[in-house]
Amino acid sequence: MEKERNLLLFCLILCCSSLLPRVSSSGGGLGKASPLKRLFVFGDSYADTGNTEKSSGAWHPPYGSTFPGEPSGRFSDGLVLTDYIASFLGIKSPQPYTWRNDVNKTLLQHGMNFAYGGTGVFDTMAREPNMTAQIDCFQSLVEQNVYTEHDLSSSIALVSLAGNDYAAFAMKNGNREELPAFITSVIDQLVHNLKRIRGLGVRKIAVTALQPLGCLPQLTAVSSFKNCSSSWNSITRLHNHQLHRSLQELKKNESIMGSSSSLSSLVVLDLHSAFVSALHMLQHQSGKSSEKPLKPCCVGAKEGYSCGNVGDKGVKNYVLCDHPETSFFWDNIHPSQNGWRVVSSFLHSSLSHLL
């Protein structure tokens, strides 16, 4: 169990590094025209579209091999959650915050992505800005009138939390008796962040529930990618239960107080159910479907290596599956473009409440 836990922690924290501006263009939104003009994104590698520095794995092949054909700072072979949500909303995927001075200013009209892989609501083992610091950056732009009150009132915020806080907690502490109290502190900070984003003028917010941590390939490898870790999935259940309960309490209190800025336009994107449904669908679909949807497409060629590792003289220390287009997981932590495509399809009913 100790070895299993440490493997996951290493993989969760490893996923990124610090800030660096980049000018590479990323596509995303392919949907129809929409009155929603902007999407503001906060969170981690599940939502990051290029904020991490070039030393991170997301800036090295084979990441980005499906889209845009080269590494773009996304932790996948192609599009990620942010891209699919933007497309559903009928807008282009918002530009990463670190690119803001290197792109045509007209591209900023679609919003901005402040997410950095490896981060959480609190400081993690990564060096990137946590969610509070990301919101600080957003607030600075609002105070500079980069975005007006009118701009923000017709916008949506996407808030992603994929588990790096729990990885950091276990690395630094690891006392499971203290885990329930820590989960409460994570949820309390997350709710505070949501209220702060709304206070800056964004009225519509989508926040992710935690995906089944125990089903990430780094943990399912011990069972030849057949079974999920029940202990890590229990963390997911506790987190998601507390999240729903806290948000319901918040809505109740604001309703009693007659708040004019109620959180009625806040939805939870249930990544747990979406992941489970997507994995089940891929496991049973016909054609070239993967017999083991829990198995990642890109893996290290041998122990000690991971997806994207390159040795002396450019020797690739990783191997790819035959059909990335049918895989669910890209690497040991992150879904492939196909995985995110299927997952996002199960989120449309929730997102429709924000239209």
Active site includes 334? Answer: yes
331 is catalytic: yes
Do 268 and 211 touch, CB atoms closer than 8 A?
Answer: no
Give the 3-state DSSP-derived string for 229-285, with helices as H, strands as E and coil as C: CHHHHHHHHHHHHHHHHHHHHHHHHHHHHCCCCCHHHEEEECHHHHHHHHHHHHHHC
Out of 17, 26, 44, 45, the active site residue is 45
180 forms beta bridges with none
Catalytic residue among 270, 334, 336, 344: 334
Catalytic residue (one of 44, 77, 83, 331): 331
Residue type at 36?
Answer: L
Residues 6 or more apart whose Cβ sits within 8 Å of residue 52: 16, 17, 18, 19, 20, 45, 58, 59, 73, 116, 117, 118, 128
**Dihedral angle, C-alpha 267, 337, 50, 268, nearest 10 °:** 10
Q: Give CA–CA dist 327/340, Å, rounded.
A: 10
Is residue 305 exposed (0-12), middle (13-18) or buried (19+ Cβ within 10 Å)?
Answer: middle
Known catalytic residues are 45, 331, 334
